[in-house]
């Protein structure tokens, strides 16, 4: 099973990308930045190479809008990665040819045929931009509702209880690591037409012990942020998976692969699907009189939030349909046999180069 993550997410701030912080250049021999059109076979190209290199350890980056599609793959023992470098997660070389190379797949597209469909292509692309702008507005409204809920239940005594609990966890679990501490930024959750999706299998793959933080009001970062800081100071590698509603500041999950340890957060109604090592009910720290005094307001805010999240799912379904229409427009004019042959050639060269180094 592959370790799977998202490197980009649709958020109230727009599309937030960690693609340019994905790879450790000290361990990277080659990054191939794939450029191509919609439906050009970028994801299929990477999957075919992975099939040819099936015995190699790898990390797979999924498309946050379509988890059946790949946006990247990294073969860690080979030091070789491939990434879809087209918007919204556009990538450009930092060290051209020394590390990164462009890998254009547009050579397999009949551009004259696509040009004849230019009006439809322009309409679909412009429609997508409008759909995404609407999506980000609705996500912003959801975050406002969440922020109000959190403000209503915030209590200084409850926060001190969480701090004490967190200090105890750090004393028990954070041991001196073998390195200087390294933070790897990822997303474990993303929005899809079917609702929020979390890649729980990755947690099971990388961790034997999992702390589950049951959390209705997005308080988990009060525990996760200090744990993350302590682990980094101890020299551990930390995979910090951020909350799409606070994609640069608020971790929602932590994985410490060297220790085979993870901390995940989830609301009680959709818990971590496996049996956790420990379960911490963050909601229990909230004083009951405080919850009772705001019961009606909290119920209204949560109901409104859920209605807007349904709207998010509908917008994403429309976006997925636009993408499908774009791919249907391009697909008939792509030489997929050429794409497959190129993938086979790259897979063969990568293996040959690796064997020479052994």
Sheet of 30-35, strands arranged across: 3-5, 58-63, 66-75, 80-84, 30-35, 100-104
- When pLDDT is cut at 50, 70 and 90, the band that residue 194 belongs to is confident
The alpha carbon dihedral of 270, 245, 182, 355 has a sign of positive
What pLDDT, on a 0 to 100 scale, did the predictor assign at position 141? 98
Tell the burial category of 196 from Cβ atoms under 10 Å away from its Cβ (0-12, 13-18, 19+). Answer: middle
- pTM here is 0.94
Give 134-185 pLDDT, tens digit per residue. Answer: 999 999 999 999 999 999 999 988 899 999 999 999 999 998 766 678 999 9
- The answer to whether the beta carbons of residues 202 and 188 sit under 8 Å apart is yes
Q: Percent of the chain beyond pLDDT 70?
A: 98
- The answer to whether the beta carbons of residues 265 and 215 sit under 8 Å apart is yes
Query: Is residue 4 pLDDT above 90, yes or no?
Result: yes
What pLDDT, on a 0 to 100 scale, did the predictor assign at position 177? 67
Give 251-267 pLDDT, tens digit per residue. Answer: 999 999 999 999 999 99
Give 216-259 pLDDT, tens digit per residue. Answer: 999 999 999 999 999 999 999 999 999 999 999 999 999 999 99
What pLDDT, on a 0 to 100 scale, did the predictor assign at position 158? 87
- The answer to whether the beta carbons of residues 199 and 5 sit under 8 Å apart is yes
The alpha carbon dihedral of 216, 217, 223, 228 has a sign of positive
What pLDDT, on a 0 to 100 scale, did the predictor assign at position 261? 98
- When pLDDT is cut at 50, 70 and 90, the band that residue 45 belongs to is very high
Give 46-105 pLDDT, tens digit per residue. Answer: 999 999 998 899 999 999 988 999 999 999 999 999 999 999 999 999 999 999 999 999
């Amino acid at each position: 099973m592959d370790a799977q993550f998202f490197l980009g997410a649709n958020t109230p701030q727009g599309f937030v990308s960690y693609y340019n912080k994905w790879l450790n250049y000290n361990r990277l021999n080659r990054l191939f930045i794939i450029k191509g059109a919609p439906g050009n076979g970028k994801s299929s190209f990477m999957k075919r190479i992975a099939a040819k290199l099936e015995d190699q350890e790898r990390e797979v980056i999924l498309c946050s809008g379509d988890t059946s599609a790949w946006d990247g793959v990294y073969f860690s023992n080979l030091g070789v990665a491939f990434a879809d470098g087209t918007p919204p997660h556009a990538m450009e070389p930092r060290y051209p040819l020394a590390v990164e190379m462009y890998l254009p797949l547009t050579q397999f597209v009949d551009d004259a045929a696509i040009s004849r469909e230019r009006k439809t292509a322009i309409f679909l692309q412009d429609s997508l931009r409008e759909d995404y702008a609407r999506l980000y507005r609705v996500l912003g409204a959801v975050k406002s509702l969440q922020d109000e809920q959190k403000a209503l239940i915030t209590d200084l005594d409850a926060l001190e209880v969480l701090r004490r609990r967190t200090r105890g966890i750090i004393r028990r679990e954070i041991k001196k690591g073998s390195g200087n501490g390294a933070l790897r930024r990822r997303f474990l959750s993303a929005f899809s037409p079917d609702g929020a999706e979390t890649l729980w299998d990755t947690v099971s793959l990388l961790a034997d012990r999992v702390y589950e933080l049951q959390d209705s009001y997005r308080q988990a970062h009060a525990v996760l942020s200090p744990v993350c800081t302590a682990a980094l100071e101890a020299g551990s590698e930390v995979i910090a998976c951020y909350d799409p509603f606070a994609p640069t500041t608020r971790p929602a999950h932590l994985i410490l692969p060297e220790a085979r340890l993870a901390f995940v957060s989830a609301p009680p109604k959709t818990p971590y699907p496996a049996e956790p090592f420990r379960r911490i009910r963050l909601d229990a720290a909230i004083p009951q009189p405080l919850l009772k005094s705001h019961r009606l307001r909290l119920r209204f805010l949560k109901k409104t939030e859920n209605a807007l999240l349904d709207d998010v799912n509908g917008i994403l379904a429309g976006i997925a349909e636009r993408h499908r229409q774009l791919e249907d427009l391009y697909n008939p004019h792509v030489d997929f046999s050429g794409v497959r042959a190129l993938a086979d050639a790259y897979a063969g060269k990568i293996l040959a180069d690796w064997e020479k180094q052994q």
